Amino acid sequence: MYIVVGVIGVAVSALFYLYIERVIKKQYKDHIGARIAAWIHLILMNIGTTVATGMLMLAGYAGGAAMLPSSVGGLGLDSGQAHEILAPFVEPIAIAILVLIFGIICGGIGFLLVQRKKN
C-alpha cells in the first residue's frame, strides 16, 4: 500500500501540479482556494498514507509474531486468535484511509479550480 499510494500517488500528484503550472501555464498562487486545497491535499495524503501503512505494518507484525510457535518466542495462536489481535487496528486504519481519500479529493478540487480559471 505504501508503494502504490505513498510513492506512486505522490509522483502522480506531482505530475498534475507540473502539468497545470508549467504546461497549461496556470498558477496556484493566483487562486487562494486552490492553494489551500493543494496544501490540504499534500498534508492529508501524506499523513493518511503514513499512519495507515504504519498501523498495517504494526498489525501484521503483531499478528504474525503471535502465530509463531512458543518455542521461538511466539504465542502459538491459530488464525482465529490472531484475528482478535488484529481487530482493534481495523477502524483506525479505515479512518487513516478516509483521511487519505479526503486529501486526494481536496487535491482534485484544487486541480479543477485552477484548470477552470480564466487566464
pLDDT at 57: 93
- The domain ranges of the chain are 2-116
Task: Give pTM, 2 decimals.
Answer: 0.83
Q: Are 49 and 5 in contact (CB under 8 A)?
A: yes
Which residues lie below 8 Å from residue 3, measured CB to CB, with a gap of 6+? Answer: none
What is the per-residue pLDDT across 31-78, written as a single tens digit (0 to 9) for each?
899 999 999 999 999 999 999 999 999 999 999 999 999 899 888 999
Cell triple for 8: 506512486
pLDDT at 3 over 80: no
- Alpha-carbon torsion angle 5, 7, 12, 13, nearest 10: 80
